[in-house]
Each structure stands twice: as structure tokens, then as C-alpha cells.
Amino acid sequence: MASHSTELELTSHTPHSSTAEIQSHHNGSINSIEANETNEGFSLPPADGGKDAWLFLMSCFMLEALIWGFPSTYGVFQEYYSTHEPFAGSNNIPVVGTCAMGIMYMDISIGVILLKWFPKMRAWATPVGLIIICLALGLGSFSTTVTHLILTQGIIYAIGGGLAWAPILFYIEEWWVLRRGFAYGVTMAGLGMSGAILPVALEWLLNSYGFRTTLRVCAIAFAVATFPVLIFFKPRLPLSQVSQSRGFDMSFWKCSNYLILQSANIVQSIGYFLPAIYLPTFARSLGASNLESIVTVVLLNAGAFCGSLSMGIAVDRYHITTCLFVAAIGSTMAVFLLWGLSTSLPLLYVFSIVYGAFAGCSASTWSAIIRDTKQKKRGADSGMVYACLSAGKGVGNIAAGPLSEALLRADTWKAGMAYGSGYGTLIVFTGTTALIGGWGIGARRLGWL
């Protein structure tokens, strides 16, 4: 009997493998497990399709939407906290959102290590993590200082979120093998969907009922929306068939493929978060109302929803560097030609959609980065490669806040349109980091990949 890790290694296809070869490996591996399970009185549900696989993918979509969607819309809370008691005029209000997103991107690696060492914890990690999230939101509603918000809505939320999300990395590789890029794309699209809906709902709740009621409503809504989907969030393979190896092959850190694509991931991430932070403020400088300014974030996330789905399909068909290059060119042109030339809301709205579609799909490429890395380092642990890519994006998220403030202070541009609005340096920096995010195609041409 081949171990689970061996199955994934055999079935992780390359762009140069024929469909017949991939299917042969896939069927051989799965059939051996199914034969064994039949002898024990039951058979495995099919991978890459079938009712159970689709229901599992739906549960991943919902978990992504809620776990990541809430902190991604922190800008709505930030604006409210900055102008309402008891937090008005306080320092470090932006730190709350940075902690929630940045720490969660980074602590997924801890979750992967724990669930690798203790496989029996995988069944409990998501419900326990969701309970921690609900407690974080509930406790946050009693906050009287920004420090309380950082601890609850920031740090505790991130710990619960990372723990709740980590099992996806183990289960998705059991349910989706030949169409893994598509599965990750659908999962990541959940963030785009919630990011397009939550800002409007949160704006209404905050202005109508205040932050205390809003956080309590969010905690209750979180429980009501997420716990039912846990019925379908389950492993495909019984624990007895899952590799019990507790070691980690970290040799991928010596792999040029991984290092080049990780460097592009980090640089792109540093600039990626800046539009989401500053677009509402920029929109108000053009005369937008509060609601009209929030529409920029809604459209940004709606674009990311479409981009994630498209990129998930693309990475299963085309080389990863080609996909990253297309995303880089699209987002770069959007920044320089649409945001940079914006003098009215309609053009800014177009930028939000286009930039969201091309820049917001980066996480959907990670399955292909894992695939390419494992071609060079066959023993590399898929979960740890993903966790390290996530941590790289977390570095970008944490760095974005203080870096953006420095860029705004240093802006002395005298150019016209948006370039002369006080955001010129920020716009150029965002476009430059987006372009560097596609440098893998140049490395491939030079033979470094």
C-alpha cells in the first residue's frame, strides 16, 4: 500500500504529462486504496468530481469566504473606529487589521506542522478554530481601548482563523488531484465573494447600531453560517490510509524554482494590499460619498472573485510563469493607466475591477508553484510549501502599512491627474511591485527555472 504522500507525488501532474499518463497514475493509486477499503466493507468516494467532492469544495469556499473575508474588510471598521468613541483619535487603529491578516497568513505554517505531527487533530482543528473566532469577535465587542481590539479582533482572531483554515491543505489534496488548481481557485474565490458583500453590510451595521452590536452580530452570523458546512468538510481518505510520517522535507528552500517564485510572491504582496487600504480615501478626494467610496472595495473584491476562478483553471493548463506574467502585466497596466489617470469615479471603478481580477488571483497560483517545486524536489511537503508561500504574503501584508505611510509622506510629485494627488508615489510603487511579481517568466527564459 502506497502512503498518502506517495499518492500525491504520483498524481501531481506536470505540464508535460499526457492526460492518459496522469489518469493512469491517478487510477492506479486510487484503485489500490479502493481495493483495500472494499475488503474492509466500504469504498472511497470519487476524487475530482461526484457529489461528495463538490460538497467538500463548497464547504472550502464558504470557510474561505468567512474566515478571510471578515479581516479583509477591516478598512470599514478602521474608518468607524477613527471617528467614533471610545477610539477616536487613538493611535495604532490600523494595527488591528494588520494583525488579523498578517498573523493569519503566517500562522498557517504552525497549523500545518501541528496537524502533520498529530493527524487526529485535523477533525477538530476547524470547529475549534471557528469557536475561537466567535469568541474573539464577542470579546472584541467589550473593548474600550485599541489594545483590546488588537488582542481580540486582531491576534486571537488570527490564531483561530489559521487553525480553522489549515485542514483545507490536507483535505483538498485528497478530494482534488487532477483538477487541483481549479479546486484552489474556487476556494480562493470565496474571499472575493465575501469581500464584495461584507463591506456594505458592515457599513450599515456600524452606522446603525455601533461597533459593539456589529461584532456580536458577526459572531452569531459566523457560527450560523460556518458550522452547518462542516458536515461536508471531511477527509476523503480514512486516517489509516494517511501517511503517518511526521517529518518535513524542507529541501525546497534550496530549489531555484521555489526561491524565484517566492520572491515574486513577496514583492507582489507588498504592493497588492495598498489599493484596498487607500482606494476609499482616494475616492473621497474625488468627491465620493461614504457609500460610493466603499464601492471601490466591493468592485476590487468582485474582480478578485472572477480572477481567482479564471486563474485556478489556467494554472492547470499553462505554465505557472506564463500565468503569473499575464497577471503581472494586467495589474501593472491597470495601476499606471487606470488608477494613475483617474480624475473621476467611473474610471476608478473600472480600475478596481481590472486590478482586482489580475492582482487578486495570486493565491490561486500557489498550487502550480507547489507542483513545479515538487518536480524538482520530489519529497517536498506540499502543505509546507503552501504555508511558506502564505507566510510570504503575510510579510507583504505586514510591511504594506508602515511602508505606505512612508510613501505618502515622501510624495512631492507635481504631475497631473492621480499622480499629482498626493498618492503618486504610492501608485508608482504599487505598479512596480505588480510588474516584478511576474519576473519568473524572465528567469525561465534565462534557464534559472
Q: What is the pLDDT of residues 88-109, one digit of tens each?
A: 888 888 889 888 998 999 999 8
Residue 17 pLDDT > 80: no
Q: Can you tell me the mean pLDDT for 346-373?
A: 93
What is the rounded CA–CA span in Å between residue 112 and residue 383? 6
Q: Can you tell me the mean pLDDT for 348-352?
A: 95
Q: What is the pLDDT of residues 206-224, one digit of tens each?
A: 999 999 999 999 999 999 9
Least confident of 21-35, 297-311, 340-354: 21-35
The share of the chain scoring above pLDDT 90, in percent, equals 55
pTM of the model: 0.84
Least confident of 7-11, 124-128, 308-312: 7-11
pLDDT of residue 258: 92
**HEC per residue, the chain:** CCCHHHHHHHHCCCCCCCHHHHHHHHHHHHHHHHHHHHHCCCCCCCCCCCHHHHHHHHHHHHHHHHHHHHHHCHHHHHHHHHHCCCCCCCCCHHHHHHHHHHHHHHHHHHHHHHHHHCHHHHHHHHHHHHHHHHHHHHHHCCCCCHHHHHHHHHHHHHHHHHHHHCHHHHHHHHHCCCCHHHHHHHHHHHHHHHHHHHHHHHHHHHHHHHHHHHHHHHHHHHHHHHHHHHHCCCCCCCHHHCCCCCCCCCHHHHCHHHHHHHHHHHHHHHHHHHHHHHHHHHHHHCCCCHHHHHHHHHHHHHHHHHHHHHHHHHCCCCCHHHHHHHHHHHHHHHHHHHHCCCCCHHHHHHHHHHHHHHHCCHHHHHHHHHHHHHHHCCCCCHHHHHHHHHHHHHHHHHHHHHHHHHHHHCCCCCCCHHHHCCCHHHHHHHHHHHHHCCCHHHHHHCCCC
Residue 11 pLDDT > 60: no
Residue 405 pLDDT > 70: yes
pLDDT of residue 238: 83
Residue 249 pLDDT > 50: yes
Domains along the chain with CATH numbers = 48-247 (1.20.1250.20), 252-449 (1.20.1250.20)
Q: Mean pLDDT, the chain, as a whole number?
A: 85
Least confident of 33-42, 54-63, 64-73, 301-310: 33-42
| pLDDT band, very low/low/confident/very high, at 9 (cuts 50, 70, 90) | very low
Residue 424 pLDDT > 60: yes
| pLDDT band, very low/low/confident/very high, at 386 (cuts 50, 70, 90) | very high
Q: What is the pLDDT of residues 152-173, one digit of tens each?
A: 999 999 999 999 999 999 999 8
Q: Can you tell me the mean pLDDT for 32-37?
A: 44
Q: What is the pLDDT of residues 387-403, one digit of tens each?
A: 999 999 998 888 887 88
Residue 411 pLDDT > 90: no
Q: What is the pLDDT of residues 138-155, one digit of tens each?
A: 999 999 999 999 999 999
